[in-house]
Structure 1
């Protein structure tokens, strides 16, 4: 039983990693050229939060309760989008500091 759950979770993760829009955006933002788009990507948290809210309204008005899984995915994606902004700013600062330090290190050799 444990093996079946492990395999199912691996396949679900692979599907989510490859096809979910938030994961695709995060992969693009995590590149050196995409780090500058992190704060802009934070704005995508709002549509995910609105979608989660609207789905809870649908559920409370008699909709199917399996939609709570979609609400969970929307909220998780919103949290990822909120988190990508500060992390990308820190990473771009670190990358620029290391790029400035490289010429200085090469001059001293």
Structure 2
């Protein structure tokens, strides 16, 4: 029974990860070159919140109960997009710090190589 539940949840996660538009968008934003789009992507939460508002108003006026699922879906997607903005900023800062450290580390290695060359050793290309 546990194996069946595990398999079902794995397949559901794979399907949602692969085919749902907000999940695909968030996967794209998490890449290094797209981290800058996290804050503008937060604006995409507005239509989802508008959908939730329209559906809750319709539910208050006696619409069918299945609209609760639409409200849940839209609020969930809005939350994902709103949270991704600050998260992408943190990831961008972390990536920039790592790149600066890598550049600084590369500069130190090249400085060490130049000091050896200035000590009287000839470069291999000029021999």
Task: Answer with 66-75 or 33-42: which moved more.
Answer: 66-75
Answer 1 or 2: higher relative contact order, Cα 8 Å, separation at least 6. Answer: 1
SS in 1 for 2:75: helix
Shift of 1:74: 0.8
Whether 1:67 aligns to 2:67 is yes
Question: For the structure 1 residues 94 and 82, does the alpha-carbon distance in structure 2 shift closer, same or farther, using more than 3 Å as the test?
Answer: same
TM (norm. structure 1) is 0.85
* Structure 1: 4+ residue segments shifted above 3 A: 1-12
Q: How many residues end up aligned between the 2 structures? A: 109
CA distance in 1, matches of 2:56, 2:9: 25
**Residue ranges of structure 1 left out of the alignment (5+ in a row):** none
CA distance in 2, matches of 1:37, 1:90: 13
TM (norm. structure 2) is 0.75
Question: For the structure 1 residues 65 and 84, does the alpha-carbon distance in structure 2 shift closer, same or farther, using more than 3 Å as the test?
Answer: same
CA distance in 2, matches of 1:52, 1:7: 32
